[in-house]
């Protein structure tokens, strides 16, 4: 109660400058003492602006005295503010405050009152306070200093039992000054108010008493005012003594009276106390006391009288005091509204704190759930140690172990392939765990890879040295590798895992596989072809020494160079050759499945289902193209199976994850046998759309079978070298093989066969070119007589080609061969005709030419028909040959007859000419000088039967000679020609007879000297004489 009393009193009445009018005061409160909410809050009672006088140092300035330059300059600090504050518990403190900016302040030092040791007044503006050290302070104006000191002293007095030492301080003077200052501040000059209660004399003698008195008085006043304060939040509240509230009257009179009474009461009260106080001086004798009291009394009376006289004045004073009181109340009101504002803002703060609190709760629960999430996450990416142990130690050998490893590796994969967002992945808990698993994963990948690598290598080494697998004459097998296939397919799941987790090792594993298997295949394929070509291929003793070859570089001039017959012994009879070289139209042998025929197992026992064999007897030989066809069939089947296996083993062409594989009971059957049984390696597969994997498969196959293409090429070259035309047969086999895989994924084989095909086509084209050259060259080299060698060879060649092509009509080979026919025949015909024209091998060049044409065209046509070579492309040539043959024959026959009967023919041609031109009637011919009867007789006489007979005999010998070479081959052309000649003779005879009849009168009686009968007789004579020759 006491503390709050003193606070209230001090703040309200002692504040020097009025709060509202003093911005510095407001600022200080605002900055330092506004916070009234906390228990340690302080309220500023008053302040004074000072400068500190000190030894020179930083933060000081030279301040020139305001009142002129006469004053000496001193080292002063920047302004400071001494603030006197009171806490809610009544504790009063002194602060030294520094201004830090326009409106902000900082408390530099704080002292408790009892720390003040002494206060010394120096001069009007300067004073020294000793606390822990002396402080010399200067104020702007003397009254500010005295006001503050006054206040300080009051406070000291009311709060301390022992005052600090006061030096050179005149308290009453101070008090006076203080009141003067207050009055000055209030704008009124009222000496009586000051003089009345405290007469100067008394004051002088009993300074402390008066001071005390006034102090008490003022405290009482304040108490009274304060008691009204709590309820005076509204301006309407009146101020009544004892704390009673009553509406304040607006009449100043009424207010004055009401105020009067309590004041008197207080005076009495004080008087009692006063008397009590004065009791202390009762040791004085009664007289003295009486005197003194009398004195006092008279003084009081005087004062009283004075007061009464001046009562009007006092009313004024009271009025002004009341006004002041009201002002104070206004102040208080503004204070209260300030408090309310403070409270309101505190309310806001509280609400804000509450909402923050709620936010914190949400955050806490979020963090809790985050923690749970994280725990779940860590749990989800936690792999039991047993799994890691399995990966580390479990054997890779048995089916059951493999199964366990599959599960374990899938588990680690699931975790390692978990997708985290960046934040989660960045968490060190997650990161570390991942690193750890990644390490295990890598170790297992390494272990798996090493294991499989070693196994593959061992398997390859084993089979490489397997004597059971060596081939020999009569034993031509390409062995399968089911054992290897079955063994490794057990690891398909783990290999799939490797593909996903370590693509580098995965690629490396593929390389290991193909490189090692390549060692086997390379060796075995080489051996196979070696045995095949050394023991089981029918070769010509002399290369290209065959009935199908037009010319031979080996023989230099070749067939033709040998001379007139132009046919070598060996070629004279195609059947001989057929017996020697067992070529077939097409392979009638099927590749044997060794398991079907138990007899073939005798050699090594079970060959396995994927082993493939050519059935040959010990000494049996196959034609080159047949051998090639069979080898090719075996090799393509082998390679295609191997590709299918690799594609499955490494899961290259299927989009499948390890999980998918493991979860598919179909694919991942129990144990390797089940896994293996599930594979279908023999059926061709559709090409994959994934270019990458098909390219990779092709690359692997290229490494695996790098020996195959070489062997096939070598074999083909060997065959063609032996007999050029073999390329066609091989070409056809290649095309057949291509057809089987054209729609499959066998990229490697497709490419390899395409290359082989191109090569064979090249060989064939080269062959055709050579033949063409040969045919053209034949013009200058050959004896131009008889059937020309190329005409003889072509039908056989065509027949062989057709036989090879049988059933392959729409192939490239067909077109290739047809085109070759076209080129060859065209050149052949041209050459034939050119040769015929230039022939010098006959008695008669012209007739010889006809003979060459007749013989060759006839041979071509009849041979082709005989051999039943029916090729659309060749039909026009066939027709051409036939027509050419017929016309040449006709011309030949006519020519021959004309030679014999030239005079007759000339004569009758002339006769007929006359008749035809109609220059004269047929009867008139006889009158023509050249064709008269005499001339007729003369020419007819030239051909008596004896001459005709002789001529005919001679003629026959000549014709016989013409057709001598072809006659050797029993072509029968002599007979054909001779029959034609006979017919021509008879026809001409008939013609002559008719013309004689028509153009010469019967009475002329001219006849042909030889009759038809005689002619026929001669013919039969010739026929008889040559029948048995």
User: Which residue from 751, 768, 654, 653 is spatially nearest to 705, judged by alpha carbons?
Assistant: 751
Quick note: the x/- pattern for another protein over 297-336, rule CB under 8 A, is ----------------------------------------
φ, ψ of residue 347 in degrees (nearest 5):
-60, -45
In angstroms, give the least distance from the CB of 690 to another protein.
8
In angstroms, give the least distance from the CB of 508 to another protein.
7
Q: Taking CB under 8 A as the rule, does residue 519 contact another protein? A: yes
Torsion of CA 495, 496, 502, 503, to 10 degrees: 100
Q: To 10 degrees, what angle do helices 399-416 and 385-393 make?
A: 130
In angstroms, give the least distance from the CB of 708 to another protein.
16
Q: Looking at 325-333, 496-504, 815-823, 970-978, which segment touches another protein (CB under 8 A)?
A: 496-504
In angstroms, give the least distance from the CB of 36 to another protein.
59
Q: How many Å apart are CA 278 and CA 225, to the nearest integer?
A: 28
In angstroms, give the least distance from the CB of 511 to another protein.
5
Q: Can you give the length of the chain in residues?
A: 1029
In angstroms, give the least distance from the CB of 510 to another protein.
8
In angstroms, give the least distance from the CB of 500 to another protein.
7
Residue of the chain from 92, 496, 501, 631 that contacts another protein (CB under 8 A):
501
Q: How many Å apart are CA 21 and CA 513, to the nearest integer?
A: 102
Q: Taking CB under 8 A as the rule, does residue 504 contact another protein? A: yes
Q: Which is nearer to another protein, 217 or 660 (CB)?
A: 660
Contacts to another protein from residues 372-431, by CB under 8 A: 416-417, 419-420, 425, 431
Q: Which is nearer to another protein, 519 or 928 (CB)?
A: 519
In angstroms, give the least distance from the CB of 695 to another protein.
4
Contacts to another protein from residues 836-875, by CB under 8 A: none
Residue of the chain from 290, 373, 397, 435 that contacts another protein (CB under 8 A):
435
The percent helix, strand, coil of the chain (3-state, each to 5) is 65, 5, 25
Q: Taking CB under 8 A as the rule, does residue 500 contact another protein? A: yes
Q: Looking at 262-270, 313-321, 433-441, 827-835, which segment touches another protein (CB under 8 A)?
A: 433-441
In angstroms, give the least distance from the CB of 507 to another protein.
4
Q: How many Å apart are CA 595 and CA 609, to the nearest integer?
A: 7
Beta bridge partners of 139: 50
> Which position has the token pair 């698993």?
437
Contacts to another protein from residues 679-718, by CB under 8 A: 690-692, 695-696, 699
User: Hey, is 478 helix, strand or coil?
Assistant: strand
Q: Which is nearer to another protein, 107 or 660 (CB)?
A: 660
Q: How many Å apart are CA 729 and CA 801, to the nearest integer?
A: 8
In angstroms, give the least distance from the CB of 495 to another protein.
14
Write out the two tokens for 419.
């997708």
Q: Which is nearer to another protein, 46 or 510 (CB)?
A: 510
Q: Which is nearer to another protein, 508 or 777 (CB)?
A: 508
In angstroms, give the least distance from the CB of 667 to another protein.
20
Q: Taking CB under 8 A as the rule, does residue 755 contact another protein? A: no
* Reduced 3-state DSSP string for 90-158: CCEEEEEEEECCCCCEEEEEEEEHHHCCEEEECCCCEEEEECCCEEEEEECCHHHHHHHHHHHHHHHHH
Q: Which is nearer to another protein, 99 or 696 (CB)?
A: 696
Task: Name every residue whose Cβ is closer than 8 Å to that of residue 608 and which is 6 or more positions away in sequence.
Answer: 479, 480, 482, 483
* Long-range CB contact pairs, 433-442, < 8 A, 24+: 433/378, 433/381, 433/382, 434/381, 437/381, 437/383, 437/388, 437/412, 440/388, 440/391, 440/392, 440/412, 441/391, 441/409, 441/412, 441/413, 441/416, 441/501, 441/502, 442/502
In angstroms, give the least distance from the CB of 598 to another protein.
37
Q: How many Å apart are CA 913 and CA 920, to the nearest integer?
A: 10
Residue 195, Cβ neighbours under 10 Å: how many? 14
In angstroms, give the least distance from the CB of 699 to another protein.
7
Q: Which is nearer to another protein, 419 or 918 (CB)?
A: 419
Q: Taking CB under 8 A as the rule, does residue 506 contact another protein? A: yes
Residue of the chain from 364, 503, 815, 902 that contacts another protein (CB under 8 A):
503
Q: Taking CB under 8 A as the rule, does residue 507 contact another protein? A: yes
In angstroms, give the least distance from the CB of 575 to another protein.
49
Q: Taking CB under 8 A as the rule, does residue 607 contact another protein? A: no
Q: How many Å apart are CA 803 and CA 584, to the nearest integer?
A: 8
In angstroms, give the least distance from the CB of 391 to another protein.
15
Q: How many Å apart are CA 38 and CA 41, to the nearest integer?
A: 5
Which DSSP symbol is given to 274? H
Q: Which is nearer to another protein, 158 or 438 (CB)?
A: 438
Q: How many Å apart are CA 1003 and CA 630, to the nearest integer?
A: 88
Quick note: the x/- pattern for another protein over 927-946, rule CB under 8 A, is --------------------
Q: How many Å apart are CA 839 and CA 855, to the nearest integer?
A: 13
> Which position has the token pair 């690799």?
646
Residue of the chain from 508, 777, 960, 1009 that contacts another protein (CB under 8 A):
508
Contacts to another protein from residues 622-651, by CB under 8 A: none
DSSP 309-362: HTHHHHHHHHHHHHHHHHHHHHHHHHHHHHHHHHHHHHHHHHHHHHHHHHHHHH
Q: Which is nearer to another protein, 438 or 920 (CB)?
A: 438
Q: Which is nearer to another protein, 518 or 900 (CB)?
A: 518
Q: Which is nearer to another protein, 526 or 568 (CB)?
A: 526
Q: How many Å apart are CA 819 and CA 559, to the nearest integer?
A: 25
Q: How many Å apart are CA 929 and CA 959, to the nearest integer?
A: 37
Q: How many Å apart are CA 992 and CA 1015, to the nearest integer?
A: 14
Q: Which is nearer to another protein, 461 or 909 (CB)?
A: 461
Q: Which is nearer to another protein, 417 or 429 (CB)?
A: 417
In angstroms, give the least distance from the CB of 434 to another protein.
4
Q: How many Å apart are CA 144 and CA 121, to the nearest integer?
A: 13
Number of residues that bind another protein (CB under 8 A): 29
Q: Which is nearer to another protein, 320 or 699 (CB)?
A: 699
Q: Which is nearer to another protein, 521 or 797 (CB)?
A: 521
Could you tell me the CA-to-CA distances from 61 to 35, 39, 78, 108, 962 in Å, in that order?
A: 33, 39, 7, 18, 154
Q: Which is nearer to another protein, 232 or 694 (CB)?
A: 694
Residue 778, Cβ neighbours under 10 Å: how many? 25
Contact status, residue 995 vs residue 1010, Cβ threshold 8 Å: no
Q: Which is nearer to another protein, 417 or 677 (CB)?
A: 417
In angstroms, give the least distance from the CB of 689 to another protein.
9
Q: Which is nearer to another protein, 507 or 744 (CB)?
A: 507
Q: Looking at 88-96, 364-372, 513-521, 902-910, which segment touches another protein (CB under 8 A)?
A: 513-521
User: Which residue from 241, 47, 230, 29 is spatially nearest to 155, judged by alpha carbons?
Assistant: 47
Contacts to another protein from residues 440-459, by CB under 8 A: 442
In angstroms, give the least distance from the CB of 392 to another protein.
18
Binding site for another protein (CB under 8 A): 416-417, 419-420, 425, 431, 434-435, 437-438, 442, 500-501, 503-504, 506-508, 510-511, 515-516, 519, 690-692, 695-696, 699
């Amino acid at each position: 109660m006491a503390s709050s009393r003193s606070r209230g009193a001090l703040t309200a009445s002692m504040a020097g400058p009025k709060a509202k009018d003093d911005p510095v005061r407001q600022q200080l409160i605002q900055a330092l003492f506004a916070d009234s909410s906390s228990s340690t809050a302080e309220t500023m009672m008053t302040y004074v602006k000072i400068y500190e006088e000190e030894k020179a140092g930083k933060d000081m300035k030279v301040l020139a005295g305001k009142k002129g330059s006469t004053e000496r300059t001193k080292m002063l600090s920047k302004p400071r503010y001494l603030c006197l504050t009171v806490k809610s518990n009544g504790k009063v403190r002194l602060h030294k405050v520094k201004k830090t900016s326009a409106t902000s302040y900082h408390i530099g030092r704080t002292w408790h009152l009892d720390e003040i040791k002494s206060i010394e007044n120096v001069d009007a503006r300067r004073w020294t306070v000793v606390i822990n050290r002396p402080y010399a302070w200067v104020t702007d104006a003397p009254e500010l200093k005295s006001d503050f000191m006054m206040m300080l002293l009051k406070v000291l007095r009311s709060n301390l039992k022992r005052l600090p030492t006061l030096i050179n301080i005149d308290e009453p003077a101070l008090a006076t000054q203080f009141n003067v200052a207050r009055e000055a501040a209030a704008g009124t000059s009222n000496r009586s108010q000051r003089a009345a209660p405290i007469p100067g004399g008394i004051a002088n003698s009993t300074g402390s008493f008066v001071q005390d008195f006034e102090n008490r008085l003022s405290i009482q006043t304040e108490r009274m005012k304060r008691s009204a304060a709590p309820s005076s939040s509204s301006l309407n509240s009146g101020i009544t003594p004892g704390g009673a509230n009553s509406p304040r009257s607006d009449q100043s009179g009424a207010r004055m009276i009401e105020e009067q009474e309590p004041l008197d009461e207080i005076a009495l009260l004080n008087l009692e106390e006063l008397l009590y106080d004065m009791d202390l001086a009762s040791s004085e004798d009664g007289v003295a006391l009486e005197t003194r009291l009398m004195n006092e009394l008279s003084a009081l009376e005087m004062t009283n009288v004075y007061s009464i006289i001046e009562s009007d004045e006092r009313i004024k004073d009271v009025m002004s005091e009341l006004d002041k009181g009201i002002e104070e109340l206004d102040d208080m009101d503004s204070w209260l509204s300030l408090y309310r504002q403070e409270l309101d803002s505190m309310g806001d703060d509280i609400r804000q704190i509450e909402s923050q609190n709620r936010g914190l709760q949400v955050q806490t629960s979020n963090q809790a759930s985050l923690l749970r999430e994280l725990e779940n996450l860590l749990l989800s990416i936690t792999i039991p140690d047993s799994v890691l142990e399995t990966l580390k130690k479990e054997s890779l050998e048995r089916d059951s172990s493999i199964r366990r490893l599959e599960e374990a590796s899938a588990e680690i994969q699931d975790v390692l392939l978990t997708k985290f967002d960046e934040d989660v992945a960045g968490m060190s808990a997650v990161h570390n765990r991942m690193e750890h698993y990644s390490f295990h994963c890598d170790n297992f990948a390494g272990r798996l890879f090493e294991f499989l690598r070693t196994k593959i290598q061992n398997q390859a080494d084993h089979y490489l040295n397997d004597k059971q697998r060596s081939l020999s004459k009569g034993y031509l097998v390409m062995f399968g590798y089911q054992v290897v296939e079955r063994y490794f397919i057990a690891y398909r799941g783990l290999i799939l895992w490797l593909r996903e987790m370590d693509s580098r090792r995965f690629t490396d594993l593929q390389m290991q596989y193909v490189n090692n298997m390549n060692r086997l295949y390379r060796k075995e394929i080489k051996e196979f072809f070696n045995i095949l070509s050394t023991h089981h291929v029918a070769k010509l003793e002399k290369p290209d020494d065959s009935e199908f070859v037009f010319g031979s570089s080996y023989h230099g001039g070749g067939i033709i160079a040998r001379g007139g017959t132009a046919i070598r012994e060996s070629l004279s009879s195609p059947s001989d050759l057929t017996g020697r070289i067992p070529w077939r139209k097409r392979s009638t042998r099927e590749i044997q499945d060794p398991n079907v025929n138990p007899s073939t197992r005798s050699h090594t026992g079970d060959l396995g289902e994927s082993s493939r064999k050519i059935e040959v007897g010990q000494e049996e030989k196959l034609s080159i193209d047949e051998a090639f066809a069979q080898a090719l069939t075996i090799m393509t089947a082998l390679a295609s199976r191997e590709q299918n296996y690799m594609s499955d083993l490494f899961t290259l062409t299927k989009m499948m994850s390890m999980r998918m594989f493991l979860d598919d009971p179909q694919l991942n059957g129990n144990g390797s046998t089940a896994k293996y049984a599930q594979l279908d390696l023999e059926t061709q597969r559709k090409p994959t759309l994934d270019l990458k994997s098909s390219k990779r498969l092709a690359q692997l196959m290229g490494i695996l079978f790098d020996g195959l293409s070489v062997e096939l090429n070598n074999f083909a070259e060997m065959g063609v070298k032996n007999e050029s035309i073999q390329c066609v047969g091989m070409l056809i086999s290649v095309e057949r093989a291509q057809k089987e895989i054209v729609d499959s994924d066998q990229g490697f084989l497709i490419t390899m066969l395409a290359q082989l095909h191109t090569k064979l086509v090249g060989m064939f084209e080269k062959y055709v070119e050579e033949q063409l050259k040969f045919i053209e060259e034949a013009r200058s080299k050959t004896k131009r007589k008889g059937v020309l060698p190329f005409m003889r060879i072509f039908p056989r060649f065509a027949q062989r080609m057709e036989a090879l092509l049988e059933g392959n009509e729409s192939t490239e080979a067909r077109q290739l061969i047809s085109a070759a026919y076209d080129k060859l025949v065209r050149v052949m015909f041209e050459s034939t005709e050119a040769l015929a024209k230039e022939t010098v091998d006959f008695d008669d060049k012209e007739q010889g030419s006809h003979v060459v044409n007749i013989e060759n065209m006839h041979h071509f046509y009849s041979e082709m028909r005989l051999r039943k070579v029916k090729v659309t492309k060749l039909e026009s040539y066939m027709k051409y040959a036939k027509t050419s043959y017929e016309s040449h024959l006709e011309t030949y026959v006519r020519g021959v007859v004309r030679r014999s009967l030239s005079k007759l023919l000339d004569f009758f041609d002339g006769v007929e000419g006359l008749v035809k031109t109609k220059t004269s009637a047929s009867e008139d011919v006889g009158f023509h000088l050249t064709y008269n009867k005499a001339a007729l007789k003369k020419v007819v006489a030239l051909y008596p039967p004896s001459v005709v007979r002789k001529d005919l005999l001679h003629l026959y010998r000549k014709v016989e000679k013409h057709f001598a070479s072809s006659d050797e081959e029993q072509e029968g052309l002599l007979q054909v020609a001779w029959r034609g000649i006979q017919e021509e003779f008879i026809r001409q005879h008939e013609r002559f007879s008719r013309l004689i009849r028509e153009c010469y009168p019967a009475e002329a009686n001219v006849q042909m000297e030889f009759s038809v009968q005689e002619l026929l007789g001669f013919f039969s004579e010739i026929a008889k004489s040559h029948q048995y020759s």
